[in-house]
Chain A
C-alpha cells in the first residue's frame, strides 16, 4: 500500500512537479584505501518490489566498463538514456563522492533502497557493495560497504 502511495506521488511529481514535495538530499560515499585504480560507482534506487526505479549518478566515464556494475547493468541493460547528463569521473581510493539533489519525499519510508555497485580495473567487481533503505530515520547514519566502499550515508 505504501509503495502504491509512493508510486502515485512520484507520478504526480512527473505530471505536476510544482505540487510534489521534495528536499535536497546529499549522498556521501567514502571509499576504502583498497590500493587500486579509480573506482567506477553507480548509485541507483529500487522500489519496494525490488524493481529498478532510477539512477542518481555514475562515476566513471567509459561505458565499456559499465557491465562491471553488475546489479545496475542487469536492471538497465546499460541503457544510456538512464544516465544522460549524470556521469562523471571515477573516484580514487580513499576519496569521497558527494552528490546533492532534490529528492521526492515520497521516496522515503516507502521501501525504496539505495544501491551502490562498484568496480575497479584488475580487481573484483562488487555489485551491491552497499545497499541501504531510504528512511527518514536512517538519515545521517553511515552504513559500511563490503569491499571498496568504506561508508555510505545520506543527509537531508
Chain B
C-alpha cells in the first residue's frame, strides 16, 4: 500500500477552510507553516529529514531521530507539534491508528441481504 502522490497535489487545491474528515491534521490551508519551518522544527527535535511531504493534512517526515533510528512522523502544519511518530525499526509511538478502539458504526448497515433485520455488526479488536 503506497501513499498516492496525487494526495499531496490535491491538498494544495483544497479551499482554505476545507479539512478532510479522514485527515490526521485539520489546519486550514491558510494556517500552514512552510516546508522550511517544518524542517527546522524537525531539526530542533534532533531529527535528520530524508523526505518531507504533505499527507493526510499534515507535514509528513521520514528520516532518522537523534539516536539514528528510522522514523516516520506527522507534524500539525499550523503548530508544528508532533501528532504521530513511528519508529520504523521497532518501538512504536502509541498514537497509532490501530490502537484506537474500533469506530462504532454510525448508521444502519448497507441495504444488502447480508445484514438481517438491519442490525449493524458487533465488532471488537482483541
Contact = CB atoms under 8 A, between A and B. Distances in A.
Classify the secondary structure of A's interface with B.
mixed
Contacts of B114: 45, 53-56, 101, 103-104, 107
Interface residues of B, number: 38
Interface residues of A, number: 53
Contact of B101 (A20, A54, A89, A120): A89
Interface string A4-21: 000000110110010010
Given A61-B22, A63-B22, A86-B121, A92 B96 contact: yes
Contacts of B99: 92
B103 A61 contact: yes
Interface string B91-112: 0000011111111011111111
A145 to B, nearest CB: 17
B119 A54 contact: no
A71 interface: no
Interface string B6-49: 01000000000000001000000000000000000000000000
Interface of A: 10-11, 13-14, 17, 20, 22, 37-40, 45, 53-57, 59, 61-65, 68, 81-92, 95-104, 107, 119-123, 125
Interface of B: 1-4, 7, 22, 56, 86, 96-103, 105-126
